[in-house]
């Protein structure tokens, strides 16, 4: 083989490895999508398409085709693959797109976009979504291949790969997947290293082996990854300026599309709450009163400046209704919304930054400039506390209530009224009728489920969805609240729906003698309210398994005096149950569908076995890595690469504790190896080969090819050095070889041994 042919083969081999590195980086960028989209055929399709495109580019370049031709060939592979997989019914010979194929693309693309925009993670692996992901992966492969191999800009390509990998995390915020991050970082470092190496001349690569550059690069990369994984979470987190409206944060969907939020697999802490009330309160964001059959619409009412005297004035209650005054402190951790979560009924909100407006009609607070992110504030509430006798004597009517709180659509399903009359039969007052409805929903006839509405096609709050829910009797808070509110209206009672958060869970902290509760994103909730003349809007909790049902106590059973904050508050502020098991529907988390898993106390050996296997695997990695590297060097040495054979000996010396300083010549190092017990003949073969490659290089140093002699000599020297080492050093050389991180000629390889020659050539 001529020198030119060998150089061409080397170049093609380098580009082949570079193509593999690009594929690894693309796969690493694709892995975060598994947290957003259910695994399916799209994953295999995306990887196969990327591999085919990169292989096509490699083959095209081997024929020295122009860069434009290479990109066109890769684009042709993309078109052909997409046609075979997604449009084979309309494509000619399953491969060539036809006009019918072209017309089908926009519809499939739009369906994929709609699923991404409107769906909730984890998204179902549908054909349209697979088309979107696989097609995007193929286009990304074409772009990255061009940027890395043709334009020789690996850093720019790496930035693009990282940006793509961040998209799923931005769409669905979650904790960092450490393993995925490490894989992405390693693949990008590997890509940059290979691209840089592919531009080096053979002699530069040979010299680099002795200079320790690869070890330095690996060390820097490893340190950067360790800092990112271990140290960065320990640093103080950036503080967002309150009211800025910028930065990350979950929002509050006021259109009752809460199922999308509840089905998200990640839970994010959004609020910290502490209150002097007997129980942590529900927090409302807004109310929805208008219902026209399809959706519940948020109230569009006048706002007034929060600091105005008439913004959140005193309650309009009957004179004999007791009031308890409570103060609730709220800190926003991760909520970016114009709706401010407040306890009800609020009479004052203080401590906010920015411009805020109050809605007197429903006692909510909205931002006029900015958002809730970073806010810390206090809410003062005046809680009505009627006795059971008082609320039974009051009708659920409101002379001045908006008409929209009683309106019903003309196409209301018949079973809503029928079941409302059936379940409230025999009651003599409005309150008892509502409590009976509440008990029916929570009594075991209904089951909380996030999946059943989707599977059965009634995942909404419209009249038709409510009718199906009452037949299926499975759903989540939106269905329970909508059904209760509509049934109350059929009984001629004003009702509306509230969107907000369930009370949080105590996190163990105590501030100012008040327990601190954490509210996370899974506690977003909807519940109904009914208006009672002289008392106001009373919340109810019909959702099976969540909160406590609303109830009021007889006058004789109420301890304390009016306004006593230590007295129990009637059910106007229901709280989540903390004793699962009393009711089959009792759930601790709105995302929990059903309790499942092995019986308590049953020993499951699989987790422990997995841990042990994982530890053994990690311990074996250095030895495996070292053996792979040795075989690579041995293979190169057998092909006439003297530098690879010499590197094998240097690595073996480092593993057993023999210094390999950069200032020492090959002849001086060879003499020390013989002193350490290495076979003189084998050392002589290696010395001759490396000196010829160093001092008389021709055609990459391979004109003095010695066949398998250098590889055999290097193997013999390595075996002798290992045999002569102490047992402890020999074991470490196998299971934890220093040469993986300490390269020949580096500071750490110099040891303390004095060099026997002042200079080193090659």
**DSSP code string of 479-492:** HHHHHHHHHHHHTT
Main-chain dihedrals φ then ψ at residue 277, nearest 5 degrees:
-70, 155
- Give 146's DSSP letter: I
Calpha distance 17→26 (Å, rounded): 14
Round to whole Å and give the CA distance between 81 and 71. 15
Which is nearest to 467 in space by CA: 513, 427, 408? 408
Helix segments in 330-413, DSSP class H: 388-392
Q: Which helix (H) or strand (E) holds 653?
A: helix 642-655
Q: Is 304 exposed, middle or buried (0-12, 13-18, 19+ CB in 10 A)?
A: middle
Whose CA is closest to 692, among 707, 683, 703?
A: 703
Strand partners, 663: none
pTM of the model: 0.51
Q: Pick the closest to residue 287 from 521, 450, 495, 536 (CA basis).
A: 495
| C-beta neighbour count of 368 within 10 angstroms | 12
pLDDT at residue 595, as a whole number: 34
Phi, psi of 35 (to 5 degrees): -80, -10
657: left (phi over 0), alpha (psi -120 to 50) or beta: left
- The reported pLDDT for the residue numbered 273 is 94
**Any alpha helices (H) in 355-509, and if so which ranges?**
388-392, 414-423, 430-442, 452-456, 463-472, 477-490
Which pLDDT value is given to residue 230? Answer: 59
C-alpha span between 433 and 437 (Å, rounded): 6
Per-residue tokens: 283: 């927090």
Taking 50 as the pLDDT cut, the residues of the chain under it are: 1-13, 203-204, 207-212, 236-249, 561-589, 591-604, 700-703, 752-762
DSSP, res 147 = I
Q: In the block, which residue shows the tokens 């669905």?
A: 172
d(CA 64, CA 58): 10
Residue 608, pLDDT score: 57
Q: What is the pLDDT of residue 591?
A: 47
Instruction: Give the pLDDT of residue 439.
Output: 93
Pairing of strands 447-448, 474-475: parallel
The structure tokens listed for 86 are 């997604």
- What one-character DSSP code corresponds to residue 663? T
pLDDT at residue 274, as a whole number: 93
d(C-alpha 283, C-alpha 520), whole Å: 12
Q: Which helix (H) or strand (E) holds 316?
A: none
**What phi, psi does 500 have (nearest 5°)?**
-175, -140
Could you tell me the CA-to-CA distances from 306 to 312, 542, 545 in Å, in that order? 8, 32, 36
Contact status, residue 274 vs residue 517, Cβ threshold 8 Å:
yes
Rounded (10°) CA dihedral 210, 213, 214, 219: 130
Q: How many CB atoms lie within 10 A of CB 31?
A: 17
């Amino acid at each position: 083989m001529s020198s030119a042919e060998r150089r061409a083969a080397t170049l093609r081999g380098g580009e082949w490895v570079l193509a593999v590195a690009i594929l690894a980086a693309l796969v690493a960028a694709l892995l975060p999508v598994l947290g957003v989209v259910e695994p399916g055929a799209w994953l295999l399709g995306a990887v196969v398409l990327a591999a085919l495109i990169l292989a096509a580019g490699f083959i095209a370049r081997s024929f020295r085709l122009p860069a434009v031709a290479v990109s066109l060939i890769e684009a042709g592979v993309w078109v052909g693959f997409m046609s075979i997989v997604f449009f084979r019914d309309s494509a000619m010979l399953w491969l060539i797109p036809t006009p019918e194929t072209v017309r089908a693309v926009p519809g499939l693309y739009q369906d994929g976009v709609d699923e991404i925009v409107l769906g909730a993670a984890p998204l179902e692996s549908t054909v349209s979504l697979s088309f979107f992901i696989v097609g995007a992966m193929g286009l990304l492969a074409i772009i990255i291949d061009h940027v890395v191999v043709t334009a020789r800009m690996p850093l720019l390509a790496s930035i693009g790969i990282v940006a793509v990998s961040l998209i799923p995390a931005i769409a669905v915020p979650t904790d960092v997947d450490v393993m995925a991050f490490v894989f992405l970082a390693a693949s990008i470092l590997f890509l940059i290293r290979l691209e840089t190496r592919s531009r080096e001349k053979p002699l530069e690569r040979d010299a680099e082996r002795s200079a320790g550059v690869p070890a330095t690069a690996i060390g820097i990369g490893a340190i950067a990854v360790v800092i990112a994984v271990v140290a960065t979470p320990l640093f103080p987190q950036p503080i967002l300026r309150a009211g800025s409206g910028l930065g990350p944060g979950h929002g509050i969907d006021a259109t009752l599309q809460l199922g999308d939020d509840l089905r998200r697999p990640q839970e994010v802490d959004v609020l910290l709450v502490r209150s002097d009330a007997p129980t942590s309160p529900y927090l409302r964001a807004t109310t929805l009163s208008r219902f026209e059959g399809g959706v519940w619409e948020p109230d569009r009412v006048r706002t007034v400046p929060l600091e105005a005297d008439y913004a959140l004035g005193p309650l309009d209650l009957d004179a004999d209704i007791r009031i308890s005054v409570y103060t609730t402190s709220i800190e926003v951790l991760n909520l970016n919304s114009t709706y401010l979560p407040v306890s009800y009924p609020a009479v004052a909100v203080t401590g906010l930054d920015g411009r805020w407006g109050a809605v007197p009609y429903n006692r909510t607070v909205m931002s006029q400039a900015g958002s809730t992110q970073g806010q810390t504030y206090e809410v003062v509430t005046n809680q009505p506390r009627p006795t059971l006798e008082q609320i039974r004597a009051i009708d659920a009517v409101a002379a001045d209530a908006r008409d929209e709180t009683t309106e019903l659509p003309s196409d209301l399903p018949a079973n809503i009224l029928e079941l409302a009359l059936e379940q409230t039969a025999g009651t003599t007052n409005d309150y008892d009728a509502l409590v009976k409805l509440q008990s029916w929903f929570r009594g075991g006839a209904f089951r909380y489920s996030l999946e059943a509405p989707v599977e059965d096609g009634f995942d909404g709050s419209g009249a038709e969805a409510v009718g199906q829910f009452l037949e299926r009797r499975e759903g989540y808070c939106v269905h329970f609240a909508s059904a209760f509110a509509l049934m109350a209206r059929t009984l001629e009672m004003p009702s509306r729906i509230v969107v907000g958060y369930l009370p949080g869970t105590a996190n163990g902290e105590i501030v100012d003698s008040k327990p601190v509760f954490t509210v996370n994103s899974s506690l977003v909730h909807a519940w109904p309210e009914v208006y009672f003349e002289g008392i106001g809007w009373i919340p109810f909790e019909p959702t099976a398994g969540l909160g406590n049902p609303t109830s009021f106590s007889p006058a004789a059973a109420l301890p304390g005096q009016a306004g006593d904050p230590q007295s129990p508050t009637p059910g106007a502020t229901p709280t989540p149950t903390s004793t699962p098991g009393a009711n089959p529907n009792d759930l601790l988390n709105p995302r929990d569908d059903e309790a499942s898993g092995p019986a308590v106390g049953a020993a499951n050996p699989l987790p422990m076995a997995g841990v042990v296997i994982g530890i053994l695997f990690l311990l074996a990695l250095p030895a495996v890595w070292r053996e792979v590297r040795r075989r690579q060097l041995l293979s190169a040495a057998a092909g006439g690469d003297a530098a690879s054979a010499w590197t094998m000996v240097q690595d073996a010396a480092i593993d057993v504790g023999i210094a390999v300083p950069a200032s020492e010549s090959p002849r001086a190092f060879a003499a020390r190896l013989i002193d350490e017990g290495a076979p003189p003949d084998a050392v002589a073969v290696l010395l001759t080969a490396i000196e010829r490659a160093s001092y008389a290089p021709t055609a990459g140093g391979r004109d003095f090819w010695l066949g398998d002699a250098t590889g055999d000599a290097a193997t013999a020297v390595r075996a002798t050095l290992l045999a002569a080492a102490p047992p402890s050093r020999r074991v470490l050389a196998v299971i934890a070889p220093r040469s993986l991180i300490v390269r020949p000629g580096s500071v750490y390889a110099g040891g303390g041994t004095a060099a026997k020659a002042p200079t080193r050539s090659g």
